[in-house]
Structure 1
Amino acid sequence: MDAGKAGQTLKTHCSAQRPDVCRWLSPFILSCCVYFCLWIPEDQPSWVAALVKCLPILSLAGFLWVVCPCGGYSRLLQGALLCSAVGDACLIWPGAFLPGMAAFATTHLLYVWAFGFSPVQPGLLLLIILASGPYLSLVLQHLEPDMGLPVAAYGLILMAMLWRGLARGGSAGWGALLFTLSDGMLAWDTFVQPLPHARLVVMTTYYAAQLLITLSALRSQMAKTD
């Protein structure tokens, strides 16, 4: 679902926008290939590993800076992507897990701000709480006492981001959903039970999510110019 949806959305945007849109997305595609080809082991933290992991996200921020330089929506997405890069770098080192989680919490808050609160769709929020609440509760049962509050707060912020992303719709909604699935699998693999191929699935859905949310800025720009 993630690769197909991302590919379809990318093709649509590239055909509907200026020809240089795909050209400016090339650094993202190439840096993703570098990350997956190098596949630096997680037990070898280094600044090189951090840079390789962050490059796809930084390239998306650069893409928005070049292709969508104006507008509050694009600037909020750029800020969120930069915070994501900080979080990615922190998570390379196990001892920096909490700063990394704080950086990603800031990312989600910026996405919530960007997505806005219209339409409100309270029914959608209720559905997300009913679907995600039991999962979050199960994860919390496997945490050390001092980790419970930070993880619970992060989970609530993630639910809010999913709510506003789905309410906005389009590629932002798909991106928010994939981001939530990626974080959910990462939480399970980290705190509950190791999952087979978890890193591959987590990073694939994560990069696809960030791409889809980034492409939503093109839709926002088109709406303003129509």
Structure 2
Amino acid sequence: MDILETDAFDRRQRRNMSCALLLSLLPFFLSAALFFYLWTPDSSASIMSAGVKSAPVLLLAAAVLSWNGGQSVLGVVGGLIFSAVGDCCLVWPDLFLPGMAAFGVAHLLYSFTFLSSRYSAYSSSSSSSIWIRSLYLILFMIGGGFYIYMYPFLQKAPDSGVLLPAVGVYIALIVLMGSLAIRTRNMATLLGSLVFMVSDLSLALQVFKVVAPMEHGHVVVMVTYYLAQLLIAVGDVNAANSNDDIAKWKRS
């Protein structure tokens, strides 16, 4: 009977946590909806548009901070803040390189977080199994293949001397982040990282004119981008709370 009561209590706790997490994410959903409502293809670059674009990610950072505390500032919260900086930079085409650098720092912070003990409840020694290694290899092959495919188009860019190495480093960083997300075995984190890669690859194809302008290309990029950040944030909250539950169980 005690075991059944404990199991029922755990289920109630998880349900209550899910409801509380959903409530804390409402500002993110509302601000993302506002962005898509206000954005138009001919929107001009301005401080207002930069603020509306970065607001959802900043609100996600605030939500993760409220759940995980200051320990997440040098992790997912820090990555979200740098992502918001990147969002602001990309509003102005001339700030593309600083924006890419900001996102590169965000991927590094995510990568360091995925290596932390916070995700130890998910990862294990079996993470070095053959299929996990195969996924690592596939991701790096996709990243390398995409860079090779993009190379001729990057050469045509006005600042190709800077873009060629910068894009290469950026692709390496996001592939590393995706690979470490696989290691965590946290489903939300893994999906968020992979969707982030899809969003960035879609953006690169449009920015460097690899594909013809798509009617809803910007919408595809932003929907996948916000979804990726949401999943990474939720994954971090779940990882922290899973560690807390394990620690309580050990103490008991």
Amino acid at match of 2:180: R
Mean Cα deviation higher: 127-136 or 164-173? 127-136
Per-residue Cα deviation, 1:132-168 (whole angstroms, up to 9, x for no partner): 3212211122013321111111111111111111221
Select which of 144, 149, 164 maps to 1:138: 149
Select which of 220, 236, 240 maps to 1:221: 240
The structure-2 alpha-carbon separation of the partners of 1:78 and 1:17, relative to structure 1 and needing over 3 Å to count, comes to same
Give the corresponding residue for 2:228: 209
Query: Which protein, 1 or 2, shows the higher relative CO under an 8 Å CA cutoff with sep ≥ 6?
Result: 1
Aligned-partner Cα distance in 2 for 1:196–1:166 = 33
Aligned-partner Cα distance in 2 for 1:106–1:76 = 11
Aligned-partner Cα distance in 2 for 1:206–1:14 = 27
Offset of 1:225 from its aligned partner? 1.8
Mean Cα deviation higher: 134-143 or 98-107? 134-143
**Contact 1:166–1:177 (CA under 8 A) maintained in structure 2:** no
Q: 5 Å matches for 1:101-140?
A: 101-116=100-115, 119=127, 121-140=132-151
Aligned-partner Cα distance in 1 for 2:30–2:197 = 24
**Contact 2:61–2:77 (CA under 8 A) maintained in structure 1:** yes
Aligned-partner Cα distance in 1 for 2:181–2:84 = 20
Give the corresponding residue for 2:55: 55
Whether 1:90 and 2:107 are equivalent positions in the alignment is no
Aligned-partner Cα distance in 1 for 2:45–2:98 = 16
Q: Which has the larger radius of gyration?
A: 2
Amino acid at match of 1:208: L
Aligned-partner Cα distance in 1 for 2:27–2:14 = 15
Runs of 4+ in 1 over 6 A off after TM superposition: none
Aligned-partner Cα distance in 1 for 2:14–2:95 = 38
Q: Which runs of 5+ in 2 are unaligned?
A: 1-12, 117-122, 246-252
The structure-2 alpha-carbon separation of the partners of 1:139 and 1:14, relative to structure 1 and needing over 3 Å to count, comes to farther
Percent of matched pairs sharing the same residue: 34
Whether 1:189 and 2:206 are equivalent positions in the alignment is yes
Aligned-partner Cα distance in 1 for 2:223–2:105 = 21
Q: 5 Å matches for 1:19-34?
A: 19-34=19-34
Whether 1:167 and 2:183 are equivalent positions in the alignment is yes
Aligned-partner Cα distance in 2 for 1:157–1:42 = 32
The structure-2 alpha-carbon separation of the partners of 1:48 and 1:130, relative to structure 1 and needing over 3 Å to count, comes to same
Offset of 1:40 from its aligned partner? 4.2
**Contact 1:54–1:85 (CA under 8 A) maintained in structure 2:** yes
Give the corresponding residue for 1:99: 98
Give the corresponding residue for 1:8: none
Give the corresponding residue for 2:119: none
Select which of 154, 157, 176 maps to 2:173: 157
Q: 5 Å matches for 1:39-54?
A: 39-41=39-41, 44-54=44-54
Aligned-partner Cα distance in 2 for 1:141–1:40 = 31
TM-score of the pair, normalised by structure 2? 0.79
Aligned-partner Cα distance in 2 for 1:65–1:225 = 16
TM-score of the pair, normalised by structure 1? 0.87
Amino acid at match of 2:152: Q
Aligned-partner Cα distance in 2 for 1:200–1:160 = 26
Per-residue Cα deviation, 1:21-43 (whole angstroms, up to 9, x for no partner): 22211100100110000114455
